[in-house]
Amino acid sequence: MVEVRYTLGMCRIYGSEYNNTWREVSPQVLFKVKGAAGWEIRGEETTETVEIVEESVEELVEETVEIVDEDVDLSILTKKELQKLCDEKGLEYKGFDNKSVLISLLSDEEE
């Protein structure tokens, strides 16, 4: 016979109570509790062999940049976005210019 104990409080199997004390059990009970959470088997060493597999992964990333010459509705952009567009196109503006001034600068530049 083999001795087992349950370490997570109290458990009942086939009408018998198991708690934190060692008890002899039949092979049927041993089969039921072997490998279950909270159960210890006296004299059995639990050794797990873990195989670590290292793989080298190479990833090929293709970037495609699509240039679109569509008319953007400038009125839906924020002031910061309009200022950024002006900076990208090299247009000069003042920090206190409102959206309408920035939109007129950008639309004049497009024409």
Write the pLDDT tens digit of every residue in 61-109.
777 766 655 666 788 888 898 898 889 888 888 888 898 998 888 888 7
Do 33 and 13 contact (CB within 8 A), yes or no? yes
Q: Rounded distance, CA 105 to CA 99, Å?
A: 10
State if pTM tops 0.85. Answer: no
Could you give the C-alpha distances from 51 to 12, 48, 54, 57, 75, in angstroms and in order? 36, 10, 10, 19, 60
Token pair of 14, please? 């086939």
Number of separate helices (H) and strands (E) present in the chain: 3, 5
Mean pLDDT of 20-46: 77
Write the single-letter amino acid at 66. Answer: E
